[in-house]
Amino acid sequence: MSHNLQLNAEGKLKHFLTIDGLDKNLLTEILDTAESFAEMSGHHVKKVPLLRGKTIVNLFFENSTRTRTTFELAAKRLSADVISMNIATSATSKGESLLDTIRNLEAMFVDMFVVRHGTSGAAHFIAEHTAPHISVINAGDGRHSHPTQAMLDVFTIRQFKPNFSTLRVAIIGDILHSRVARSQILALNTLGAAEVRVIAPKTLLPAHVETLGVTVHHNLNEGLKDIDVIIMLRLQKERMTSALLPSESEYFKCFGLTPEKLEIAKPDAIVMHPGPINRGVEIDTRVADGPQSVILQQVSNGIAIRMAVMSMAMQTQGAA
Amino acid sequence: MSHNLQLNAEGKLKHFLTIDGLDKNLLTEILDTAESFAEMSGHHVKKVPLLRGKTIVNLFFENSTRTRTTFELAAKRLSADVISMNIATSATSKGESLLDTIRNLEAMFVDMFVVRHGTSGAAHFIAEHTAPHISVINAGDGRHSHPTQAMLDVFTIRQFKPNFSTLRVAIIGDILHSRVARSQILALNTLGAAEVRVIAPKTLLPAHVETLGVTVHHNLNEGLKDIDVIIMLRLQKERMTSALLPSESEYFKCFGLTPEKLEIAKPDAIVMHPGPINRGVEIDTRVADGPQSVILQQVSNGIAIRMAVMSMAMQTQGAA
Amino acid sequence: MSHNLQLNAEGKLKHFLTIDGLDKNLLTEILDTAESFAEMSGHHVKKVPLLRGKTIVNLFFENSTRTRTTFELAAKRLSADVISMNIATSATSKGESLLDTIRNLEAMFVDMFVVRHGTSGAAHFIAEHTAPHISVINAGDGRHSHPTQAMLDVFTIRQFKPNFSTLRVAIIGDILHSRVARSQILALNTLGAAEVRVIAPKTLLPAHVETLGVTVHHNLNEGLKDIDVIIMLRLQKERMTSALLPSESEYFKCFGLTPEKLEIAKPDAIVMHPGPINRGVEIDTRVADGPQSVILQQVSNGIAIRMAVMSMAMQTQGAA
């Protein structure tokens, strides 16, 4: 998929669909913009009038209360009007095609689609086919991409470890099915991380995973050595019944992050998780709530990152 | 049902329940008001503070994401607060009567009900029984009426064919079950259209349909001659299994609008559809997306029309 | 449960969880604050900018369209941003614990939780564990408490019967399962009502009910003598099948409020009900809609009371 689709003629962010094709400067601009919003969060009035009069439509073809809520909050704090549509249960029930749904919403003069879809490429498809004045933000598409999650993750890392050139990050768990991991790897490599490691059983790694620019470990004890940032992935419990995985307790024994395992990493390593966490499955509750965990900081930063990409994308709309 | 119910003592629009009983001046006032809102849509800030501090309740007893969304957008662009209630699944589950639900919402100082209901006359019933300071907008009741849809249709026609006195309009499809068709026929006749034709198989026409002020055709080729405006109706696929209709492909062959059939009408005829469209059932995809189609223009105009009737109805509330 | 939890160091309302532990001064302050909002309701612009920029999350673990709507309306009239989450069907479906859901929402910089939960003590639990800058309002927890309902009830009583020291109130019906009754009894006694009577069959009264500070009657005719205020409770029809109750008609004969029974009370007695009412079960429709009924007044006052407690609780957040 073309990275040009995401940028306007001046190279500014028009859509935010994937980390792929965005350069270090642009990712840094997103992080810096988010920083200005993050500073605002402690204030009394957190609302800014940047997107007043703009209409943002949350198009959620997959149900995700948490992600929808963060986008809704971010939009409201930018003073936009938000319409949330749970498409899974509504519009297409009358047999309307995705494209017709999009065309109709366009015709209602909306300014932005935030798209969550179970199929890889859905947000790209909408961005390719939507009216020129509309921006599309990918809120997760199939196994492909979840770029705002990756950006909030690198934003959080930068708060604690500002020097990416010496940074060693381990991503642990179900890499195979994770759009989050794909986006994180791209963002970390673009920002010049010294090393991105993936640690997982072979059954949960994509074929030729090294080509993504990662080193690979199948053993947690070995993989955690010299690590600055540990990113745990959520284990989808529904995979547990398949041939991919042994039992839950077996998985926890091998790949669950316990206080003991955490000691293998650098002493000032931070622990991250995109949430929602499965306590006792991929992460020990003492680690999740421990002093090295920055999991809730990630959630906070999610609002700032979403405000940043929404306001940046809307700025490229000019007088359209 | 009395037309007086819709008008206040000065003859101004208080409720908008049906086209029936509204005169040409009033319909024209709605169209002119909508025009001022339609001009605004290209602007950056589409929001006006006309209904600031007002509370509009979307009372949807029938699920309709699209119609609900257009009313919600229209209300937000007028700066009203909107509460959307899907009553089908909520309030009445505790066994509360419609009237008790209305009484309770009234007591919460709401200013307007937008009502969608499967039973003909429901919006009238609510308007008859609600508190004097509250306006009711009919967003579709049973087979009876869908007046905002009819007004956005005549608004769209006026943009392309401003002279109604020479205008010939064909409405094609399931007239029998269509509240949209009933309202369109009334609006077109009130505005002085030269001819309103209905084209449908006999099984999809109401008895004594001519009394509505239409000419009747059962053959598409004959019916399309000299036509300026073609309005296709959505075919409810659920009727397909009944005795009313032959197969889907048979219906399309007889009453589906193809590029070939379209050529029978005047060369500058426009094609309309209330949506959502069934491509290949009542309309060929080349016609739906073709240069004579104004289907998406209708959707855009729907916002302007709804802003117009909402703001007009609210103005009659005076100091109430 | 500690009353201190609800108050900040200066004794101001920080959370609103229960009437228990709040003194007459504080309840009166809530009533007086609500009065200023109630006066506003007749005005054109009912919106005040008191909570502009604040984010209120409706956390409804039990579905209640009506209560959720009143809180949503109250919040919007204070100019707050509102996010409504029906948790029953969403967040916890991914197996997240209540505490993790709360932690995540906190991290998104929300300012207030309005909590409805089927388990007694849920709002307290959240207030005990949430971040210090967040206020919690109990919108009903199990059989325990429904303090905003009780406050709107005493607010309504005060409008008609301002002198509590001579006031005799009868609460009639299913006291056993009613969080509303518990909160009403506490509020009335704190405000110095002369007498609070409960009238119910023995099977619908808690053990040792007298310890709540009420007199007890099992006979409606006797219980209604000298009464100024009659509060009917909603009969949960699902209890009807259990051993607790005879048939619906039997219950109505004994405890239903008819015009004849109403005559036993003082001639200027008012009739109240928290809604939604079961016409013909606990209350005759002639009484519900009769001149002594103030049931819809209660609904109106519910908005003012909720605006009052929301704005008071938010004021204690200071520079937090």
Among candidate residues C15, C146, C182, C273, the one labeled active-site is: C146
Residue B319 has pLDDT above 50, yes or no: no
CA gap A254, A87 in Å, rounded: 39
C-chain residues within 8 Å CB-CB of A303? 108-109
C320 belongs to a structural domain: no
Predicted pLDDT at A88: 66
A320 belongs to a structural domain: no
pLDDT digits (tens, 9 = 90+) for B272-304: 999 999 999 899 999 999 999 999 999 999 999
Share of chain C above pLDDT 70, in %: 91
pLDDT digits (tens, 9 = 90+) for A40-75: 665 455 789 999 999 999 999 988 888 999 999 999
Tell me the two tokens of residue C281.
Answer: 């079960």
Put simply, whether B85 touches C (Cβ < 8 Å) is: yes
Residue B240 has pLDDT above 90, yes or no: no
Tell me the two tokens of residue C51.
Answer: 């909570």
pLDDT digits (tens, 9 = 90+) for C4-55: 899 999 999 999 999 999 999 999 999 999 999 987 666 555 789 999 999 9
Measured CA distances, B61 to A30, A96, B167 (Å): 44, 21, 36
Task: Dump the DSSP string for B9-35.
Answer: TTS-BS-B--STT--HHHHHHHHHHHH
Predicted pLDDT at C4: 80
* Residues B274/B173, Cβ–Cβ less than 8 Å: no
Predicted pLDDT at C239: 63
- CB-defined contacts B:C, below 8 A: 60
| Identity of the amino acid at A253 | K
In a shared domain, residues C55 and C70: yes
Active site residue C94: yes
In a shared domain, residues C142 and C166: no
CA gap B254, B246 in Å, rounded: 10
Burial of B215 (0-12, 13-18, 19+ CB in 10 A): middle
* Closest-CA residue of chain A to B276: A96
* Closest-CA residue of chain A to C110: A73
Number of domains in chain B: 2
Domain that holds residue B99: 4-146+300-315
Residue corresponding to tokens 């308007």 = B127
Predicted pLDDT at C236: 77
* Residues B95/B297, Cβ–Cβ less than 8 Å: no
B-chain residues within 8 Å CB-CB of C72? 83
Predicted pLDDT at B179: 93
CATH number at residue A14: 3.40.50.1370
pLDDT digits (tens, 9 = 90+) for B87-102: 765 544 456 788 898 9
pLDDT band at C95 (very low <50, low <70, confident <90, very high): low
* Residues C259/C198, Cβ–Cβ less than 8 Å: no
Greatest pairwise CA separation for chain B in angstroms: 58
| Identity of the amino acid at B276 | P
A43 belongs to a structural domain: yes
Burial of A320 (0-12, 13-18, 19+ CB in 10 A): exposed
Predicted pLDDT at C190: 98
pTM of the predicted model as reported, rounded to 2 decimal places:
0.92
Residue A86 has pLDDT above 80, yes or no: no
Of A1, A301, A28, A276, the closest CA to residue A136 belongs to: A1
Share of chain C above pLDDT 90, in %: 77
In a shared domain, residues A74 and A171: no
Predicted pLDDT at C248: 80
Cβ-nearest to C100 among A77, A277, A303: A277
CA gap C188, B225 in Å, rounded: 77
Tell me the two tokens of residue B265.
Answer: 């009408």
Predicted pLDDT at B164: 98
Tell me the two tokens of residue A293.
Answer: 């965990």
Of B76, B115, C79, B278, the closest CA to residue A57 belongs to: B76
Binary contact (A91, B302; C-beta < 8 A): no
B320 belongs to a structural domain: no
Distance from CA of B107 to the nearest CA of C (A): 5
Of C187, C142, C138, C152, the closest CA to residue C17 belongs to: C138
In a shared domain, residues A260 and A292: yes
Put simply, whether A66 touches C (Cβ < 8 Å) is: yes
Active site residue C14: no
* Closest-CA residue of chain C to A66: C91
Distance from CA of C233 to the nearest CA of B (A): 14
Of B113, B114, B121, the closest CA to residue B141 belongs to: B121
In a shared domain, residues A293 and A192: yes
CA gap B199, B207 in Å, rounded: 14
In a shared domain, residues C167 and C141: no
CA gap C276, C69 in Å, rounded: 14
Measured CA distances, B236 to A204, B78, B169, B288 (Å): 46, 33, 22, 17
pLDDT band at A250 (very low <50, low <70, confident <90, very high): confident
> What ipTM does this complex have?
0.89
pLDDT digits (tens, 9 = 90+) for A123-180: 999 999 999 999 999 999 988 999 999 999 999 999 999 999 999 999 999 999 999 9
CA gap C286, C293 in Å, rounded: 9
Of C117, C145, C309, the closest CA to residue C212 belongs to: C145
In a shared domain, residues C116 and C156: no
Measured CA distances, B233 to B94, B130, C75 (Å): 37, 33, 42
In a shared domain, residues B305 and B293: no
C121 belongs to a structural domain: yes
Share of chain B above pLDDT 90, in %: 77
SS3 A145: strand
In a shared domain, residues C163 and C138: no
Predicted pLDDT at C47: 86
State the average pLDDT for chain C: 91
Task: Dump the DSSP string for B243-290.
Answer: TT---HHHHHHHH-B-HHHHTTS-TT-EEE--S---BTTTB-HHHHTS
Among candidate residues A14, A116, A179, A182, the one labeled active-site is: A116
Among candidate residues A94, A208, A211, A241, the one labeled active-site is: A94
C247 belongs to a structural domain: yes
Predicted pLDDT at B3: 47
pLDDT digits (tens, 9 = 90+) for A105-120: 999 989 999 999 999 9
Predicted pLDDT at A4: 80
B90 belongs to a structural domain: yes
Predicted pLDDT at A8: 94
Among candidate residues C116, C177, C234, C273, the one labeled active-site is: C116
Binary contact (B55, C76; C-beta < 8 A): yes
Separation of CA B248 from chain center = 25
* Residues A313/A135, Cβ–Cβ less than 8 Å: yes
In a shared domain, residues C57 and C141: yes
Among candidate residues C18, C33, C67, C156, the one labeled active-site is: C67
CA gap A64, A62 in Å, rounded: 6
pLDDT band at C297 (very low <50, low <70, confident <90, very high): very high
In a shared domain, residues B54 and B166: no
In a shared domain, residues C112 and C249: no
Task: Dump the DSSP string for C99-153.
Answer: HHHHHHHHHTT--EEEEEESSTTHHHHHHHHS-TT-EEEEEEETTTB-HHHHHHH
pLDDT digits (tens, 9 = 90+) for C239-254: 666 666 778 888 899 9
pLDDT band at A242 (very low <50, low <70, confident <90, very high): low
Interface-testing mutation among A81, A97, A113, A129, with chain B (most B C-beta atoms within 10 A): A81
Put simply, whether A63 touches C (Cβ < 8 Å) is: yes
Interface-testing mutation among A40, A41, A43, A44, with chain C (most C C-beta atoms within 10 A): A44
Predicted pLDDT at B202: 92
* Residues A58/A68, Cβ–Cβ less than 8 Å: yes
Measured CA distances, A185 to A202, A272, C90 (Å): 18, 14, 30
State the average pLDDT for chain A: 91
Of B142, B153, B135, B134, the closest CA to residue B117 belongs to: B142
**Phi, psi (5° rounding) for residue B73?**
-65, -45
CA gap C133, C111 in Å, rounded: 7
